[in-house]
């Protein structure tokens, strides 16, 4: 990184321009944290700007023009195994302090001459600090740069909560009042910017932040108005919580499993949860806590981590989409609630009714097509593992159909279902039921990671042409259904050879069986 910054300083500073490190990178370095992407301000005596073609050529990078009129550029440069993003703000000489004062929070309104950093100087006396950001940094405060900071860009309200959670800081009272009383709603911002900020929150230990955004300032309903009908939506039966509280606890339960990098511990087997949750459910995640025990073997965690940490856009993994699915998995219940007597309600088909809702959410937030599809699969299929469990035990054919239908999102559906059931059963004090379901999910995950291809896609004993010949028909949807039923018979152990497969198809023809339903022929 230092070599890259030295090259930038040499190239851009060659014409007498002054280059400063600003923003989050500098803030994190001052806090002793590992910084991410870099923000630079370049003070230019006169604007002709640098020769960007030369800059890009010498750094072997890519230039993105963010706003040429305002002098905003982005350099994307290879560094090690990844890419480094360098955002550059070109300003007129003598306007550095004004530029800093227009930023969001005082702890981000700091600047350091790049030349000083390259000399190894990162002392506070070298830092340009027009608004007392260093004092707030030491005090652990998120303070707006001015009275209009939130109103000028309402998205900064979300950012305040994200930074507070990420850094362990408090939001300064007057800044909190600005957030509560800003006249411009967050949802008025561009959808992709809202999703960028929300997904950055979901990347953290998100449940406490989500509760604050919802309960303290009402920002969450601005972003996700679909959650409003879930509040005070009584469910009865296993559910002692309303649909929204249950959804929040589903996110909490997932984070209990996931938050530590190796997921070494979770409170499922401990006796410390009288009502399903401790004051801090994450306190049981320390490996030194003797009351803790793994819910799943370590090798499964490695596989689940590979799944959840897999990138589905350039900058986002499945984790953020998965956590959004935790919050929205029951959003279809508002359309399907029917009273069943004795204080109980049914919600038949709520998972399917939730799919168009979450697709609309994804469109509004300008999520990528892949993100939208993953979100829809998770919400639309989150009941499937429970349906299998209730079969007690499920047939190999039913398991095969689940794996084939879920595809590569099967681990996500299983983990979402586990968090969902833990949320309801533990809140109702039904620990044994939660334990039993965890055992089932463990077996399903082991089947997926160890035998997925064998179960979901057994070796084809016949192809479509052979089925057509045996049935005496032309290609049609019936052929696919027969092949599916044949695959079910294979995993059930009823068909093992090509001769047995041919006999199976001939039996279908002679018996005139219907292969159109879910259970096949």
CATH of residue 145: 1.10.110.30
280, 294: one domain: yes
Best CA proximity match to 89, nearest among 105, 109, 106: 109
435, 482: one domain: no
Helix (H) or strand (E) run with residue 482 in it:
helix 477-491
Q: Which token pair is 199?
A: 């997904």
Asked whether residue 521 is domain-assigned, the answer is: no
| Rounded-to-integer distance, Cα 373 and Cα 487, Å | 27
| Rounded-to-integer distance, Cα 195 and Cα 368, Å | 10
Is residue 521 within 8 Å of residue 478, measured between CB atoms? no
C-alpha 66: how far from chain center: 26
Is residue 146 within 8 Å of residue 138, measured between CB atoms? no
282, 257: one domain: yes
175, 159: one domain: yes
Per-run averaged pLDDT (10 residues), the chain, 521 residues: 79 79 91 86 72 76 82 79 80 89 96 89 87 96 96 95 96 96 88 95 96 95 96 85 95 83 38 39 40 60 91 91 98 92 88 97 97 98 96 90 94 96 93 93 92 86 93 90 93 93 89 59 61
239, 351: one domain: yes
Asked whether residue 91 is domain-assigned, the answer is: yes
CATH code for the domain in which residue 112 is found:
3.30.460.10
Cβ neighbors of 317 (< 8 A, separation 6 or more) are 308, 309, 310, 311
Asked whether residue 518 is domain-assigned, the answer is: no
Indicate if the alpha-carbon torsion angle 487, 489, 493, 499 is positive or negative: negative
357, 309: one domain: yes
The residue among 113, 133, 153 that closes a domain is 133
239, 374: one domain: yes
| Rounded-to-integer distance, Cα 160 and Cα 166, Å | 10
| Rounded-to-integer distance, Cα 426 and Cα 67, Å | 52
291, 411: one domain: yes
Residue 259 has what pLDDT? 62
Asked whether residue 96 is domain-assigned, the answer is: yes
How many structural domains is the chain composed of? 4
Is residue 198 within 8 Å of residue 158, measured between CB atoms? yes
The residue among 223, 238, 265 that closes a domain is 223
Tokens 């949860």 locate to 273
83, 121: one domain: yes
Q: Which runs of E-coded beta strand occur in 68-196? A: 72-79, 82-92, 111-113, 141-142, 170-171
Regarding beta strands 38-44 and 82-92, do their DSSP bridges make them parallel or antiparallel, or are they unpaired? Answer: parallel
156, 47: one domain: no
Is residue 436 within 8 Å of residue 398, measured between CB atoms? no
Best CA proximity match to 385, nearest among 396, 398, 371: 398
| Rounded-to-integer distance, Cα 153 and Cα 194, Å | 11
Asked whether residue 195 is domain-assigned, the answer is: yes
- Answering whether pTM is above 0.85, one says yes
Residue 70 has what pLDDT? 80
| Rounded-to-integer distance, Cα 315 and Cα 186, Å | 22
Distances in Å between the Cα of 75 and the Cα atoms of 69, 87, 94, 138 are: 17, 6, 24, 31
Q: Which token pair is 289?
A: 């806590």
Tell me the residue range of the domain where 487 lies: 464-511
Asked whether residue 199 is domain-assigned, the answer is: yes
4, 41: one domain: yes
| Rounded-to-integer distance, Cα 84 and Cα 77, Å | 5
Residue 180 has what pLDDT? 93
Asked whether residue 97 is domain-assigned, the answer is: yes
The residue among 133, 156, 174 that closes a domain is 133
Distances in Å between the Cα of 21 and the Cα atoms of 103, 451, 459, 507 are: 14, 51, 59, 75
If you compute the radius of gyration of the chain from its CA atoms, what whole number of angstroms results? 28
DSSP, residue by residue, 397-459: HHHHHHHHHHGGGHHHHHHHHHHHHHHHHHHTT-HHHHHHHHHHHHHHHHHHHHHHHHHHSPP
Asked whether residue 516 is domain-assigned, the answer is: no
| Rounded-to-integer distance, Cα 36 and Cα 354, Å | 36
236, 341: one domain: yes
Q: Which token pair is 343?
A: 């204080």
């Amino acid at each position: 990184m230092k070599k890259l910054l030295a090259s930038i300083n040499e190239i851009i500073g060659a014409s007498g321009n002054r280059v400063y490190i600003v923003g989050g990178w500098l803030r994190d370095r001052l806090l002793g944290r590992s910084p991410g992407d870099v923000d630079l301000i370049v003070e230019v005596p006169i604007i002709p700007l640098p020769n960007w073609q030369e800059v890009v050529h010498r750094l072997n990078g890519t230039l993105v023009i963010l706003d040429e009129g305002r002098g905003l550029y982005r350099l994307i440069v290879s560094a090690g195994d990844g890419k480094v993003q360098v955002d550059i703000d070109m300003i007129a000489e003598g306007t550095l302090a004004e530029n800093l004062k227009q930023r969001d929070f005082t702890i981000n309104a700091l600047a350091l001459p790049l030349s000083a950093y390259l000399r190894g100087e990162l002392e506070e006396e070298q830092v340009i600090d027009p608004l007392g950001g260093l004092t707030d940094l030491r005090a652990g405060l998120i303070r707006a740069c001015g009275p209009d900071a939130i109103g000028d860009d309402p998205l900064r309200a979300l950012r305040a909560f994200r930074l507070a959670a990420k850094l362990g800081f408090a939001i300064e009272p007057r800044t909190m009042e600005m957030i509560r009383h800003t006249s411009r709603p967050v949802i008025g911002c561009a959808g992709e910017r809202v999703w960028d900020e929300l997904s950055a929150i979901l990347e953290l230990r998100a449940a406490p932040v989500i509760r604050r955004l919802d309960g303290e300032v009402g920002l969450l309903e601005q972003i996700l108005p679909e959650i409003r009908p879930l509040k005070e939506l009584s469910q009865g039966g296993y559910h002692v919580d309303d649909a929204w509280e249950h959804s929040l606890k589903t996110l909490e339960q997932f984070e209990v499993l996931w938050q530590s990098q190796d997921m070494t511990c979770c409170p499922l087997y401990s006796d410390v949860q009288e009502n399903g949750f401790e004051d801090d459910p994450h306190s049981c995640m320390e490996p030194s806590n003797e009351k803790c025990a793994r819910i799943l073997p370590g090798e499964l965690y490695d596989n689940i981590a590979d799944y959840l940490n897999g990138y589905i856009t350039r900058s986002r993994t499945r984790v953020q989409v998965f956590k959004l699915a935790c919050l929205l998995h029951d959003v279809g219940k508002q359309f399907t609630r029917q009273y069943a007597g004795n204080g109980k309600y049914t919600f038949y088909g709520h998972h399917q009714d939730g799919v168009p809702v979450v697709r609309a959410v994804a469109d509004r937030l300008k999520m990528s097509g892949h993100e939208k599809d993953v979100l829809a699969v998770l919400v639309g299929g989150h009941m499937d593992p429970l349906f299998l469990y209730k079969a007690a035990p499920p047939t190999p054919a039913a398991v095969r159909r689940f794996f084939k239908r879920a595809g590569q999102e099967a681990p996500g559906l299983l983990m979402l279902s586990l968090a969902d059931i833990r949320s309801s059963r533990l809140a109702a004090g039904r620990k044994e039921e939660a334990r039993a379901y965890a055992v089932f999910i463990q077996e399903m995950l082991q089947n997926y990671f160890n035998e997925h291809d064998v179960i979901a896609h057994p070796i084809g004993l016949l192809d479509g042409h052979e089925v057509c010949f045996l049935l005496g028909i032309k290609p049609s949807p019936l052929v696919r259904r027969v092949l599916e039923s044949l695959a079910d018979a294979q995993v059930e152990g009823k068909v093992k050879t090509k001769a047995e497969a041919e006999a199976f198809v001939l039996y279908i023809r002679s018996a005139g069986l219907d292969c159109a339903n879910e259970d096949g022929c």
